[in-house]
Amino acid sequence: MTIIVKRLVLAILTITVAALVTFIVIQNVPGDPLYEWAMDMVQTSGLDFETAYKMAAQMYGYDPNQPLLDRLVTYVKRLLKGDLGYSMIYRASVNQIIAKALPWTAFVVSVSLLLSFSMGVILGTLVAWKRRSILDPLVTGYASFTAATPDYVTAMLLLLFFAINLKWFPSKGAYDIGIEPGFSLAFIGNVLHHAALPILSYTLEAVGGWALAMKGAAISVLGEDYIMAAKARGLKDQRIVTSYLARNSILPLITGLAISFGAMFGGSILIETIFNYPGMGWFFSQALMRKDYGMMQGLFLLTITATILANFLADILYAKLDPRVRLER
Partner 1 sequence: MNEPILSVRDLVVEFEVREGNLRSVDHVSLDIPKGAFMGLIGESGCGKTTIVQAVLNLMPENGYIRGGEILFDGVDILALPPEKLRRLRWERIALVFQAAQNSLNPVLKVSEQMIDTVLAHRKMSKEKILERASELLELVRLDPQRVLDSYPHELSGGMKQRVIIAMSLLLEPEMLILDEPTTALDMISQAYLMDRLQEIHRQLGITMLMVTHDVSNVAKVAERVAVMYAAKILEVGGVEGIFYDPYHPYTKGLINAIPSIVGDLSSKRPIPGFPPSLISPPDGCRFHPRCQFADALCSQVVPEMEEVTTGHFVACHHWKRAREG
Partner 2 sequence: MRTLLRNRRAVAGAVILILYFFMATVGPILVPLKEGEPWKAFRPPSWEHPLGTDYMGRDVLAQIVQGSRDVLFVAFLAALFAILIAISLGIIAGLKGGFTDQILMTFVNMMLTIPHLPVMMILAAVFRVKDPFSFALILAFWMWAGLARAIRSQVLSLREREFIEAAKLLKLGTAHIVFKEILPNVMPYVAINFVSMMRGAIVSSVAIMFLGLAPFSATNWGMMLNMATIQTGAIYIPQALSYVLSPLLAIMLLQLGGYFFAHGLEEIFNPRLRAHE
Q: Of 208-227, which residues contact partner 2 (CB under 8 A)? A: 219
- Which phi-psi region, left, alpha or beta, contains residue 276 (left: φ > 0; alpha: ψ -120 to 50)? left
Binding mask 251-270 for partner 1 (x = CB under 8 A): x-------------------
Would you say 34 and 60 are in contact if contact means Cβ atoms under 8 Å apart? yes
Would you say 163 and 169 are in contact if contact means Cβ atoms under 8 Å apart? yes
Size of the site for partner 1 (CB under 8 A): 23
Nearest CB to partner 2, comparing residues 13 and 186: 13
Q: Of 108-167, which residues contact partner 2 (CB under 8 A)? A: 131, 144-145, 147-150, 152-153, 156-157, 159-160, 164-165
Alpha carbon separation from 208 to 116, 246, 266, 306, 329 (Å, rounded): 8, 17, 19, 25, 38
Query: Should residue 243 be labelled a site residue for partner 1 when binding is judged by CB under 8 A?
Result: yes
Distance between first and last Cα of the chain: 7
Of 179, 224, 289, 313, the residue at the interface with partner 1 (CB under 8 A) is 224
CB neighbours of residue 279 within 10 Å? 27
Cα–Cα dist 256/260, whole Å: 6
Query: Should residue 328 be labelled a site residue for partner 1 when binding is judged by CB under 8 A?
Result: no
Q: How far is the CB of 210 from partner 1 (least distance, A)?
A: 20
The angle that helices 247-275 and 280-289 make with each other, rounded to 10 degrees, is: 50
User: Which residues are registered as beta bridge partners of 87?
Assistant: 92
- Letter for the amino acid at 19? A
In 156-200, at which residue ranges do the beta strands (DSSP E only) sit? none
Cα–Cα dist 8/268, whole Å: 26
Query: Should residue 248 be labelled a site residue for partner 1 when binding is judged by CB under 8 A?
Result: yes
Cα–Cα dist 264/105, whole Å: 9
Of 79, 293, 294, 298, the residue at the interface with partner 2 (CB under 8 A) is 293
Q: Which does 265 bind (CB under 5 to 8 A by kind): partner 2, partner 1, none?
A: partner 2
Which residues are at the interface with partner 1 (CB under 8 A)? 131, 224-226, 228-236, 239, 243-244, 247-248, 251, 321-324
Which residues are at the interface with partner 2 (CB under 8 A)? 10-11, 13-14, 17-18, 22, 25-26, 28-30, 131, 144-145, 147-150, 152-153, 156-157, 159-160, 164-165, 219, 262-263, 265-267, 269-270, 273-274, 284-285, 288-289, 291, 293, 296, 300, 303-304, 307-308, 311
